Structure 1
Amino acid sequence: MLTTNYVPGTPNWLDLGAPDIDAAVSFYSAVFGWTFQSAGPDAGGYGFFQLGGETVGAIGPLMDEGARSAWTVYFHTPDADATGKAVEQAGGSVRVPPMDVFTAGRLAAFTDPTGGEFAVWQPVDVPGLERVMEPNALCWTELYTTDAAAAKDFYRSVFSWSHQDMPMGGDVIYSVVSAPGGGEGDDTGHGGIMQLQEENLKAGSTSEWHPYFGVTDCDATFAAATGHGATVLIPPTDAPGVGRLAMVKDPAGAPFALIKGDPTLS
């Protein structure tokens, strides 16, 4: 399960690249009750989504020409530069070289060999998100990938993740991933890796990380999201042993999922 006791390889930050900050803040405020706090005049429009005064995510403008709106999942690292070298050695590529963010920490952004984009955060003054595993906060991360075997090999090499393969019927396998020291007992999983199906690949789907936010009522939050302009990817659906989940794209096209229940249960 996710926790704010961050160890290397576990998710510790999450931000949204948006073409219209005000519109995105309005949408997520309506859906999750989040408020927005600017990071200051020198932050280029970057700021924090907060819930009860605690940071649950962040948002900033799209910086690259042609970039699409998306959530980026960050994983804890004690050394962003060393992680960058590990990424390249494992066949990934560097999108944003390691850089300091004032005194908050050091970040870098990468692309895995299957095309999945992710980032790392090396904390200094800011350890990471202040609230996870609660309603309207991050509770799971998931990679849909064009090559699950290659993705698992890559992240094992970079972050020392282990994985537990869980059959989901037919030839569908869901791999729950865990970082060393990332939990206790059976609650070590912090995310999942799933092979895109042939119909998705033919339709042009590409590798993509996305967040799951915990909710108290999946149907009600789904209705709030679609009522404020989100488009449907997966309508509310019961997942036996997991909970009730749904997936949407926000009005700017960034996908995210909702879940009522603990996704680490199986």
Structure 2
Amino acid sequence: MLSTDFVPGAPNWLDLGAPDTDAAVSFYSAVFGWQFQSAGPQGGGYGFFVQDEKTVAGLGPLTEEGASSAWTLYFHTADADATAKAVEQAGGTVRVPPDDVFSFGRMGQFSDPAGADFAVWQPGDTKGVDLVNTPNSLTWAELYTTDAAAAKDFYRAVFSWQLTDMDMGQGMTYTVLTPAGGTEDNSHGGLMQLHQDNLDAGSGPEWHPYFEVADCDAVYAKGLEAGGTTLIPPMDAPGIGRMAMLTDPAGAPFALIKSEQAPPS
């Protein structure tokens, strides 16, 4: 389970790169009830999705040429520069070299060897998001990859994650991701091999955020009404919860889950 204690290797921030930030605010406000707070003139159009005056995510305009709208997950690091070196040594790519974001922290953005984008946040004044696991906040991070074995080696080398394989039947394996030294109680994500039908449909290696919700079907319906597109309709996952996956109107994928054992709100 995620925690705002933000141990090394755990997700501590996420943001959305959008071609139209006003449209993104309209969509996610309708789906989750989030409000938007600008970072001000010095923020370059960046700002924050907030709930009950607490930050749940960031939002900014797309800055990389040819980039498509997507959520980016950031993982805690005590040394962003050291992580950048580890990424390169493990076969990944440094897309945005580590740099200070005023006094808030130090950020770097990378791609793994298969091409899935992710980032790191070295906390300064800002430790990370204020809410996780409560309804309408981040609760899980999931990687879909074209080479699960290589992804395991890469992320183990970069973050020292503990990896636990689970047999899902029909030749499917789901790998649970846990920070170094952690237990099942503080696992933060999963890793899966993309199936050929996913590839044929245009899917590629990418990280997806899961947002905890109070009612998966109701929030899913709000997403469709606001202009989202179905990737996976609401379905029950025994022992886990009820989940769905959508893309927002600009094409950024995200998932919803009503956990079977929902954390306290």
Q: How much identity, in percent, do the aligned residues show? A: 66
Which of 252, 257, 261 is equivalent to 1:254? 252
Distance 1:140 1:263 in 2: 14
Q: Which residue of 2 aligns with 1:204?
A: 202
Residue 71 (structure 1) aligned with residue 71 (structure 2): yes
Matched, 1:93 2:96: no
Give the CA deviation at 1:205. 2.0
Q: Do the aligned partners of 2:6 and 2:76 also contact (CA within 8 Å) in 1? A: yes
In structure 2, list runs of 5 or more residues that go unmatched: none
Q: What number of residue pairs does the alignment pair up?
A: 263
SS in 1 for 2:130: coil
1:47 counterpart residue number: 47
After superposition, residues 1-266 of structure 1 pair within 5 angstroms as 1-182=1-182, 185-261=183-259
Deviations 1:113-161 (A, max 9, x none): 1111000000000000000011000000000000111001100000000
Tell me how far 1:262 sits from its aligned partner: 5.4
Asked if structure 1 preserves the Cα contact closer than 8 Å seen for 2:83 and 2:158, the reply is yes
Take 1:205 and 1:231, find their aligned partners in 2: how far apart are those partners? 14
Measure, in 1, the Cα distance between the counterparts of 2:65 and 2:78.
31
Q: Evaluate the alpha carbon distance shift between residue 156 and residue 215 of structure 1 in structure 2; reply closer, same or farther with a 3 A threshold.
A: same
The one-letter code sitting in structure 1 at the alignment partner of 2:29 is S
Q: Distance in 1 between matches of 2:153 and 2:104?
A: 31
Q: For residue 186 of structure 2, what is the amino acid of its counterpart?
A: T
Partner SS state of residue 258, structure 1 = strand
Distance 1:123 1:107 in 2: 9
Question: Match of 2:41, SS?
Answer: coil
Q: What letter matches 1:171 in structure 2?
A: G
Task: Give the Cα separation in 1 of the matches to 2:171 and 2:51.
Answer: 40
* Structure 1 moving runs of 4+ over 4 Å: 262-265
Structure 1 262/93 Cα, relative in aligned 2: closer, same or farther at 3 Å?
farther
Comparing 32-41 with 193-202, which one deviates more in the overlay?
A: 193-202
TM-score (norm 2): 0.97
Provide the TM-score with structure 1 as the length reference: 0.96
- Structure 1: state its 5+ residue gaps: none
8 Å CA contact 1:242–1:264 kept in 2: the answer is no
Amino acid at match of 1:144: Y
Query: In the TM superposition, what is the alpha-carbon distance from 1:198 to its structure 2 partner?
Result: 1.8
Residue 263 of structure 1 and its aligned partner are, at CA, apart by 8.3
Local SS of the residue matching 1:168? strand
Query: Contact 2:242 / 2:260 at 8 angstroms: preserved in 1?
Result: no
